Amino acid sequence: MGHRDEGGGRMRPIVVRQLRGPVEAVTEADALDAILDERAVLVRGPLFGVVAQDTGAAGDASRWRVVVPVVAGCPQEARDSLNSLLWFRAKDDAEDRAERRALLAAVARLESERVDELTVLGTRYRVVRAEEYTAAGPDGIERPRPTDPEPSVPNWDRGVREPGIDDGLVLDPEAAVTPVQAAERLARRQLAYNGARFPEDVLDDSERALDTHPDVVLLPALFRIVEQDGDAWKAASGLHPSAHEARKTLDFSLTWFEPRRLGLIPWDVEDRNADARTVTAKGTATAELATYAEAADRLRAEHANRIEVLGTVHQVCRARRLLRWGPDGPEGPRPSDIDSHPPERIRPPMDEDGTVHYEGGDEDEDEVETSPETQI
């Protein structure tokens, strides 16, 4: 990515506030150290989600709330999640036929059109586009910071669900921020794609966005596992709300998935929960399998953010997200953004009385999930 000169008169002023107590002061100092260590910005690519705004809310014209976390890999994934969200509201929350008809009409559009914005029952929904990037310093890709939230007692049970990404997040470009947050927003305003590896239409859209959406809002940092591939790094996991959740994924990969991928534990083993730890504890592990178990134990004991196992470096990466903002709010998908699939029906038909009609004729609503969160 590159920089260009800023134009005047088009951008919102950034309001800077005083720090709120010693804890925030330490976090601010930590963030300043990270900025001073920064040598490069490494861009992974766009992420997509859905935000909402109540059209009748006075005084909240600049505020949008996140209703689908900004983590989808393409715009259509975010549209599908909005489709699911509205379908479940029609099924579970509609107070009468009129409300359900309005919700189902929006679902029908999302099943057949690439809709990036629509208004339903006084709520304006928009598919938004953020940029995922990370910083690189003297020690390589940025790892979790000392002040990033960590559980007081780490829970390694993969069945325990932690708070989701972007839960309750409200986006407001006019909200006051700390001095370092303000500095980072200013530094990121003029970032744009450059270089021969990007197609011409991608470069053009990126340059155009600097004019149409000149401001930026920084979303909360997320965490993912990356693996070293020669001189480069490749993503090895999805995004997580905390470094600990990323470590749990790495722990599972080292003990369960990698041993099966490498043939150290058969995929069809009778005990589906068998992993490097349990096999090693029985004294029947190969040297390679024992090495994976030892690395996973070290990950847990040291809360490590970097582990090397059999020549592969696994690291917890601190991923940042930048959302561009214009006069009408957050940026939506660009023409050059690519969808992985077309719009399609993702839920069974429902009538205005809330009856779900299945292809096989079984209309037992209990067969349908009752919570959209599992689909988003």
- The 3-state secondary structure of the chain, one letter per residue: CECCCCCCCCCCCCCECCCCHHHHHHHHHHHHHHHHHCCEEEEEEEEEEEEEEECCCCCCCCCEEEEEEEEECCHHHHHHHHHHHHHHHHHHCCCCHHHHHHHHHHHHHHHHCCCCEEEECCEEEEEEEEEEEEEEECCEECCCCCCCCCCCCCCCCCCCCCCCCCCCCEECCCCCECHHHHHHHHHHCCCECCCCCCCHHHHHHHHHHHHHCCEEEEEEEEEEEEEEECCEEEECCCCECCHHHHHHHHHHHHHHHHHHHCCCCCCCCCCCCCCHHHHHHCCCCCHHHHHHHHHHHHHHHHCCCEEEECCEEEEEEEEEEEEEEECCEECCCCCCCCCCCCCCCCCCCECCCCCECCCCCCCCHHHCCCCHHHHC
Whether the predicted pLDDT of 367 surpasses 70 = no
In tens, the pLDDT along 112-151 reads 999 999 999 999 999 999 999 999 999 889 999 999 999 8
Residue 6 has pLDDT above 80, yes or no: no
Provide mean pLDDT across the span 19-47. Answer: 94
- pLDDT for 95 beyond 50: yes
> What's the whole-number average pLDDT of the chain?
90
pLDDT at 27 over 70: yes
Pairing of strands 40-54, 215-229: unpaired
pLDDT at 59: 55
pLDDT of 16 higher than 60: yes
Q: Alpha carbon of 259 to those of 37, 276, 305, 373: distances in Å?
A: 37, 7, 21, 31
User: Is 90 exceeded by the pLDDT of residue 296?
Assistant: yes
The pLDDT score that the predictor gives to residue 375 is: 36
Per-residue pLDDT for 368 more than 60? no
152-171 average pLDDT score:
89
Q: What is the mean predicted confidence (pLDDT) over 163-172? A: 94
If pLDDT is split at 50, 70 and 90, which confidence band does 230 have? confident
Q: How far apart are the first and last CA of the chain?
A: 30
The count of residues in the chain is 376
Instruction: Find the mean pLDDT for residues 295-315.
Output: 95
Hey, how many other C-beta atoms are within 10 angstroms of the C-beta on 334? 18
Question: Quick one: pLDDT at residue 229?
Answer: 73
Buried b (16+ CB within 10 A) or exposed e, 65-104: bbbbbbbbbbbbbbbbbbbbbbbbbbbeebeeeebbebbb
**How much of the chain, in percent, has pLDDT values that exceed 90?**
80
For residue 101, pLDDT over 50 is answered with yes
Would the pLDDT of 2 be above 70?
A: no
Confidence of residue 1 (pLDDT cuts 50, 70, 90): low
What pLDDT score was predicted for residue 5?
Answer: 46
> Which residue, among 169, 308, 158, 163, has the nearest Cα to 242 in the 3D structure?
163
| Whole-number pLDDT of residue 195 | 84
Name the more confident of 20 and 366.
20
The C-alpha angle 26, 187, 222, rounded to 5 degrees, equals 55
194 pLDDT band (50/70/90 cuts)?
confident
Determine whether 48 is exposed, middle or buried from the number of CB atoms within 10 Å of its CB (0-12, 13-18, 19+): buried
Top pLDDT among 191 and 2 is at 191
* Most confidently predicted of 9-18, 31-40, 183-192, 314-323: 314-323
- Residues 256-287 have pLDDT tens digits of 999 999 999 999 999 999 999 999 999 988 99
